[in-house]
Every structure is written in structure tokens, then in C-alpha cells.
Amino acid sequence: VDISTSISGTTLPNVFFNASGVWCQHEDELQAMVESHSGALITKSATLAPRQGNPSPRYLPLPLGSISSMGLPNEGYEYYLRYACSFNYSRTKPLFISLSGLSLGDSVKMVEAFVAADLPCMLEINFSCPNVPGKPQLGYDFEAMDAALATLAPLIKKPFGIKLPPFFDIAHFDLVAAVCQKYSNLAFLTCVNSIGNGLAIDFETETALIKPKDGYGGLSGAMILNTALANVNAFYRRLPDKQIIGVGGVASGKEAFLHILAGASAVQIGTQLMEEGPAVFERLNKELAEIMAAKGYNTIEDFRGRLKTL
Ligand code: RRO
């Protein structure tokens, strides 16, 4: 059984890698990703300047997933640019870089620096951070997203991707797909970021479980699997010339299989990586391969997007 895949022409030895934000802020974490059985790695979303992020506690596992409001803690884009410059690209595992400008001007500066460096890494532009106080998610403002893509896509020139928030309305799937369709080098959509601004409350103490934003934070893990699958499949159906990277609620080979069946070409791991650590990738590889063998599928392309409907 072969669980390799490719994203805009670059081969990944297997479909799995980290969701941006998990195990990827510092060089030691990125090195652990390199040494793991992941098929790729992606860096923490970078801003122009380094950021401490929101006050702790700011991540908590929940019975059905997790809640977090990290607030974009990162080392600043120059740190990740240096990392990308020193990365050994002759290894089989590709490097993705996540950028999350606090303004379009910031994104332009970061993109220009990466373009000037002319590296074989792929950019994933984050349009969906829910946790910076006072900064709405760009992905929920379709005109602003269109304007950002109109500026960034021609600068990047090469194939690139965007990280989208989850959508919950068919009209929104249609509108976002129409925007994405305008940009030919927009090669992949990573669906989905966390479901923004949930609230987790401790029953005994009657207190919010995380500190930032009065307890509001992004929901991830098992509780968002079905929303993630819907978004993967909605954009897979609407954008046959683009690829979808699925993320949300993958804890075992079974959920990964479902993401691929819905149309995903690769699968990112957030909460489960946070909880289990990079050893998760060896287990997921084994579990997905076993499921494929049992079902008689030899490659990802034998079943990707082949969801049946009633
Ligand atoms: O850092 C964060 O709080 C964060 C980001 Br940038 C994001 O894109 N998604 C998320 O759930 N948290």
C-alpha cells in the first residue's frame, strides 16, 4: 500500500503533517517534525514582528477535542525565513511556511522576503486566525480576502495555498470558491482552521477554562470533524483544478480516510499531535495503510474524493 501524495507537484512520502500552530514554533519542535514519520512539516504562522501571544492558560484539551486562544505567538517571519534558508531540501519531506500578516501590508512584506529568497518551500497564507483581539478573521470578509489574493497571488507567482476558516452555509461555499477560482496560482486550500470563539466552562468552579478573551477560543479536534469534512468536500467539488488539504478531527487512520474520501490530498493533525506528540505520525501511517489494505485500495488516488451520496 502506498500512502504517498503530492501537493502542487511536490511529493510527500505520506499524506500526514502538522497543522500550523502545533509543534512548529521553535526550531527544536520543527526538528522533531523532521525526525518524525510525517510526510511534510509546516511552521507556526508568522507575523512581521515576534509575538508573545495571549496570556495562559490558553490551550486546554476537552472531552471531545480542545479549545485554544494562543494569539499568534511566533518568532517573527525572519526566524522562519532563516529556518527555510537552512532547511535541507534534499530530504524527501517538503517544508511549508505559514504566514499570517496582521495587515495586508505586513503580508506583502513577508511574501516579498520569501519570494526574494527563492526557496523550494510552499507558502500557506493564513486567512483565519480567530484569536487576535480586535482582528476579525479575513476569511469571513470575502471582499477583503479577494483583495488580499489580488495583491498576494501575483507577488508569489509560484503555486501557494491559503488556510481557510470553517464555513457553515452553502452560499458561503459558493462565494469563497468563486473568489479562489480567480487566482490560478492558488493551488491548495487548507480546510479548516479551528471553529472560532467557542466557550468552555468548568461546571464546578463556574469559570471559563482559558484566560484570553473572557474564555473564548478556537474549537478543534473530534468535535469539528464533521464541519471539517463538509468544508473539504464543498471546496473539492467546487474547485476541481485546486487541491484540498484536510484538517480537523483526525485522531486515527479512520478520520484521515474520511478526509481523503471527501477529497483531501493531504491531512494535517492539530489537537491529536498536541496530545500525543510527533509519535502520532507513525501510528497514523500504519492505521491508514491497514484501512486501505482491508478495503483493497493501493493508493490514495484509488479513493480520494470518491464519496458516495444517497
Ligand atoms: O495563534 C493562534 O491563536 C491561532 C491561529 Br494564528 C490560527 O490560525 N488558528 C488558531 O486556532 N489559533
Distance CA 304, CA 302 (A): 6
Distance CA 19, CA 147 (A): 25
Name the residue at shortest CA distance from atom 7 of ligand 1.
129
Helix (H) or strand (E) holding 297: none
- Ligand 1 in contact with 101 (CB < 6 A)? no
Q: What is the pLDDT of residues 60-106, one digit of tens each?
A: 999 999 999 999 999 999 999 999 999 999 988 999 999 999 999 99
In the reported structure, the alpha carbon of residue 265 is separated from the centroid of ligand 1 by a whole-number distance in angstroms of 22
Q: Model ipTM?
A: 0.99
Name the residue at shortest CA distance from atom 5 of ligand 1.
129
Distance CA 255, CA 132 (A): 29
Indicate the range of 131-140, 202-211, 216-225, 248-257 predicted with least confidence. Answer: 131-140
| Total residues belonging to the chain | 310
At 92 the pLDDT is 86
At 241 the pLDDT is 98
In the reported structure, the alpha carbon of residue 155 is separated from the centroid of ligand 1 by a whole-number distance in angstroms of 24
In the reported structure, the alpha carbon of residue 128 is separated from the centroid of ligand 1 by a whole-number distance in angstroms of 8
- Ligand 1 in contact with 193 (CB < 6 A)? yes
- Classify the C-alpha dihedral 249-172-70-197 as positive or negative: negative
Q: What is the pLDDT of residues 30-41, one digit of tens each?
A: 999 999 999 999
- Ligand 1 in contact with 122 (CB < 6 A)? no
Of the chain, the percentage scoring pLDDT greater than 70 comes to 100
At 49 the pLDDT is 98
Nearest ligand 1 atom to alpha carbon 126? 8
Name the residue at shortest CA distance from atom 8 of ligand 1.
129
Q: Domain residues of the chain, as ranges?
A: 5-54+71-207+222-302
Arch. (CATH architecture) of 5-54+71-207+222-302 = Alpha-Beta Barrel (3.20)
Q: Which long-range contacts (CB under 8 A, 24 or more apart) does 79-82 make?
A: 79/46, 79/50, 80/43, 80/44, 80/46, 81/113, 81/114, 81/117
3-state secondary structure (DSSP) of residue 26: coil
Distance CA 291, CA 136 (A): 40
129 is catalytic: yes
